[in-house]
Structure 1
Amino acid sequence: MLGIFILVAGLRFETGYDWLAYEIVTNNAPSIVGLFTVDALAPQVKSMEPLFVLLVAVVKTMGGNVQLLYLVTVTFNAYVLYRFLKYTRAKIAVCLAIYACWLFLAMQMGVIRQSVAVSFFLLSIIAFDKGKMLKQFVFLIAALLMHYSSIMFLPLFFTRIWQKIIAARLPILFGFALFYVSGLGLYKPIMLLLQSLPSSFLAGKLAMYTELGPAEISFLSRIYFFMNLMICLYLAKSYDKSSRIDTVLLSASFMLVMCQSLFSEFPLIWNRVQYLAVTAQSVLLFRNFSRDDNYALMKFGMAATLSMAVLVKDLTNPAFLPYLPYQWYPYYLYTGEPGDGRARTVRFYDKYIKSVFENKSESLDTSTTH
């Protein structure tokens, strides 16, 4: 299945949410030598985190383009995911199937930097569980330098605090549920904070998020919140309190519920946590299901049905415009037919996130090196 992941996401051509932005970045990025000789980086490159800029520079030095960038990142992510699932004694095939339905399209074909950052954080969790503090620190810094939002995951390592939160889960989760249904949210406080911040990289990131909010909380979003809350309650009853890695994994699920409650109007924020939490949930849930001889098959069936429903919902979403029809790079090389992926993606930007990419209207004329 990992090979399929690489063939689909690593060899995609003008398909997915992110490809146009990263094509522009890759085309404007210098080589390794250029990083130290150019007077100034292009604005599109300068807006990216330093480790990602270095990665793109390595790709350019090798004579590659955005297609090689896809292949490298997806292959790395697939390797780390397999290593993590094997280390946690997870049901690998089952967890990969869940990953395919819930995360694959978004992470591997929509958020390159975030996906690599999550992979580095998974390696950091393994090092943390082994007690290898230096490796943990190195992987954590790599995650932060690949995508600054990874700082949201840092509290997960404070396992003693999380154990106390998990022990007092009923009143805590009840409080977050009340805040969620109240509809208060933190949009206005964040806007006030943004107005008080001086112009900086952080202020620019916050401004981008606020431009996409406040988002309307849909009925399915509410169901998803309470589903995650119930998962927390279910897993907390039987998780191994002596296991540091199990505490981190369960804490990720608790953090998702907290972020959904506090940032309900900002799915772009709590989605960052979801990218880690869903993998953590699948590991713990299916390990738990396997121990239940009486209802294991029923639970697996329910999880499979729900996951397929999520995948169908995504594929039928009008906002899925940049994904379908899917375009494969080897087919483009063989036929020379570029398809309409570029036009569909620009239409998507125009309709859904027009204010985010200021240069999107110029991208139709951007020269590309395929």
Structure 2
Amino acid sequence: MSSETGSHDNVSDHDPNEKLPERRDEAHEAEKDPGHGAEAALAEDPFRDPGLPPHEHRIQDVDERAAKRSERTVALYFVISMLATVGFIASYVAFPIEQIVYIWPLGHISALNFALGMTLGVALLGIGIGAVHWARTLMSDVELADERHPVEAEPELKRKVLADFRQGAQESALGRRKLVRNTMFGALALLPLSSVVLLRDLGPLPEDKLRHTFWEKGLMLINENTGEPLKPEDVPVGSLAFARPEGLEPEDHEFNTEIAKAALMLVRIQPEDIKDKKALDWSHEGVLAYSKICTHVGCPVSLYEQQTHHVLCPCHQSTFDLSDGARVLFGPAGHALPQLRISVNDEGFLQADGDFAEPVGPSFWERGA
């Protein structure tokens, strides 16, 4: 009995809150390293949320001189981007497109393409590096944890998101770091100029080429099928013929470019059936000459209905009345087919009395009403 009592006394005399030596060591380690306890807990339960590690301040957070150095570094990258954009535009003007240079290890390449690629790459790289360096050194890097929310947010959550956004904008120091802000805006404002300059590579400026065709006063109408000049009797009533300007030959280098605007169709209608007075005045003995280019997207108009004097574009079914100034009856075409004023020369061949009075083909932004 005495031994049992002594044993019982030993147990009861022990303080249950007293830490055993092993537990004292663990507590001591946890005090020295706050993450030690989290690691131990994670080892016991691998599915337990370990939480966020303790936040470590950057040197820029505690030393304003270091922050200023980072600000100047970010601004330097943005300035490099701006200078590269200016270099891009200058390269486009300075280097002729035919100039070839040798650059190791690329070999012989276009000086213009190399200069444009390098300057544009540096411009984009400067903005990217500046933004990353800004985010890593000057913006707030405090870790935040938030729970997932339904797609349709509650009003309270919306207010929280807006508040977080305002807080993030404030912590980004965009308003306080004026040097970073101004150089970033300058780089972003100059960079789109590169795209504007690249539009020049779409081709030469049209100038007034859209308003004029190969036709001019005195040029005979040449039959597209026979290659011979046309006379009024070559276009019988109810028929449709196609013509090109005299002097424009299929073997010419610019033939496709010019015929795309100058293609002509001829139709002969009894003069009493022509409703539009201007169309009648510009015809010769009922022979009417209209542009063959549809005013919707430029398809060749070619399907003629003899009884109604309607002509149909096969692409999108725009329908024009040739007896009434080729006005649009149906379809997406925006305006009537332009008419070419014709007459006959001393030899009895049909000839143009000038160019079309208005641009042919689809509408464009500079075209007048």
Using structure 1 for the length normalisation, give the TM-score. 0.18
Higher relative contact order (CA 8 A, sep 6+): 1
Instruction: Give 1 or 2: higher helix fraction.
Output: 1
Using structure 2 for the length normalisation, give the TM-score. 0.18
